[in-house]
Structure 1
Amino acid sequence: MKLLSYEENGKPRFGALVEHRVVDFERASAAYAKLDSSVKQLPSSVELFFDEIDELDSSARKIVAKFIEDGASDASISAPLEGLKILAPIKRPPKIICVARNYAEHAKEAGLEISPIPILFARFSNTFVADGDPIVVPKVSDSVDWEGELAIIIGKDTKGRRLSKEEAMDYVYGYSVFNDVSIRDYQFRVTQYTAGKNFRASGPFGPVIVTADEVADPHKLDIKTTLNGHVMQFANTDTMIYNIPTILEHISEFIDLEAGDVIPTGTPAGVGFKRKPPVFLKHGDVITVEIPGIGILSNPVADEA
């Protein structure tokens, strides 16, 4: 499945992308439950879906299968993707835990050592930017940089368990695209990343969540970042220093994972601040991150009003 959030009459809605239509889960579940008593009522928001994902995921899959079987065109429970205002796939995830310096070539270009354990930092959900919405260049800095990344979406609570690498992938619900836009002068003037990674409108995320069953191998995915059509980053997730099981094992050593958590897995080489001369995002630019099979996340850049 490809899950997304969108806006209708100023309120968030939640559904699945099927071909070029978005199936509204709340409306479709109400309609299909009359035909199949095993279909449970789905909520209008993705956050409520993840709160009860163990009970609701199978109903979501049945709805998508039924919609496809019926011809993927029922206008009473779906709408064309074109014209909808797409939101970040999850507006308020329980946690956003980012992985830093997870590609050797990126560590090398930054002049930094490879860490013996995954380096982690937190992002805040009110930094999210939906596909198509602008990244904002703040008045206090002109050092705005890009970082294209694969994001993991967690599908089960660990409930106090410390995961082993062998079981970690069972907790992955799906994947999305993330651009960990960084304000470099704020990031590097102290030893903590928090400020430089949490400016307003600095976290492009989306446009969809692709469930894990549709991704043959998340460790064999190309990541390409383009700036105004020019390729700035190109790598494959098979070159990550720490793979997904290692990342999840490490995080679960100290905190519980929860359904809906978002974990961007780090960026490859090709960021702007180490180019000669440095290249930073500016008003009028368009930055795009593409991961085939997962999605294309594209955002204009605008100065702070």
Structure 2
Amino acid sequence: MRILRYEREKGTYTLAALANDERIYDLPYPDFMDMIYASEQSGKTPLHYVQDLIAGQGPIEETLEQLQLAVPITAPEVWASGVTYEKSKDARNYEATAGKLDADTFYDKVYEAERPEIFFKSTAARTVGPGQPVYLRSDSDWQIPEPELGLVLSKSGKVLGYTAGNDMSCRDIEGENPLYLPQAKVWKHSCAIGPVILLADAVDDPYSFDLACRIYRAEEKIVDGSANTKQLKRRFDELVEFLARDNDLFDGTVLLTGTCIVPPNDFTLKDGDRIEIEISSIGVLNNPVKKQESKIAAAR
């Protein structure tokens, strides 16, 4: 069972359940966590609670493609994990060593270390949903999407659901100096999540998700990559445990779990590109790419 959020009237949002047969059923909640709280009060799992809510209820007339989808959850914080796949380690090494792949770096140490790399990625105001543009950073010349499985968490660290995420990244800024990581990762519209949340109790094995990333330029596919969460070096509970150490988690926090799909080293996103991130059983997160004017240049 998947949960989506859409704009029913201008400025008014509602949740809906997307069943396996692709039919959509309205839910009486504006926010994902409201539904979770109600399921807890009922003593039912979220999956069983939603199934009971829609039992005997007719689906809405619209299809998924006809709805104005919004971010499925207004996550108060989005965090991200790095170097959780070997492919990611190799890409970071390439950036940091100017292509000298035989040189060991701190990324090799992080990949093998007990402590994972976890960094702050986004706030609700910086995060966009399906169909909304992700922005290019104006002071970077080497930018890529990072398709990742996202964990939707409660304040106790429980995984409530899974979603698709795009951790936009500036490879040149991070490669220049690892201390520049926040600038390589965090800016306006640098994070996208969606299109839905797959309820955790509807998932048998979270280490069997297929991921794909397709990038289109003038509607011609120029990048096409795939991976599977079974390739992860770390476990999800391990990442969540480190995120929660001496830290307050908020209900609805999203933790992106790292990428295993990296475009060719000579590729960079351009204004007008379109990114599709697809995760099996979740769906396709589709975002156009937009160049934003430098605020420094605009102020001159």
**Smaller-chain TM-score range?**
0.7 to 0.9
RMSD: 2.6
Q: Pick the aligned partner of 2:165 from 167, 174, 178.
A: 178
Percent identity for Structure 1 against Structure 2: 28
Please tell me whether the aligned partners of residues 2 and 209 of structure 1 are also in contact (alpha carbons under 8 angstroms).
yes
Q: 2:120 & 2:168 partners in 1: Cα distance?
A: 13
* AA of the residue aligned to 2:90: K
- The verdict on how the C-alpha distance between 1:66 and 1:47 changes in structure 2, with shifts beyond 3 A counting, is closer
Match of 1:118 in 2: 116
Match of 1:38 in 2: none
Shift of 1:179: 0.9
- The verdict on how the C-alpha distance between 1:20 and 1:140 changes in structure 2, with shifts beyond 3 A counting, is same
Secondary structure, counterpart of 1:105 in structure 2: helix
- The verdict on how the C-alpha distance between 1:251 and 1:85 changes in structure 2, with shifts beyond 3 A counting, is same
Question: Do residues 25 (structure 1) and 41 (structure 2) align?
Answer: no
Q: 1:96 & 1:207 partners in 2: Cα distance?
A: 16
Pairing 1:1-305 to 2, within 5 Å after superposition: 1-7=1-7, 8-18=9-19, 19-26=21-28, 43-50=29-36, 54-55=40-41, 58=44, 61=47, 64-66=50-52, 69-70=55-56, 72-73=58-59, 75=60, 79-91=62-74, 93-111=75-93, 112-115=107-110, 116=113, 117-125=115-123, 126-155=125-154, 157-158=155-156, 171-190=158-177, 191-228=179-216, 229-272=221-264, 275=265, 278-304=266-292
Shift of 1:146: 1.1
Secondary structure, counterpart of 1:108 in structure 2: helix
Shift of 1:304: 2.2
Secondary structure, counterpart of 2:184 in structure 1: helix
Secondary structure, counterpart of 2:66 in structure 1: coil
Q: Which runs of 5+ in 2 are unaligned?
A: 94-106, 294-300
Q: Which runs of 5+ in 1 are unaligned?
A: 27-42, 159-167
Please tell me whether the aligned partners of residues 213 and 261 of structure 2 are also in contact (alpha carbons under 8 angstroms).
no
Match of 1:30 in 2: none
Instruction: Summarize deviations over 1:142-198 as a string: whole Å, max 9, x none.
Output: 32211110111114x32xxxxxxxxx7xx2111000010113344444414222211
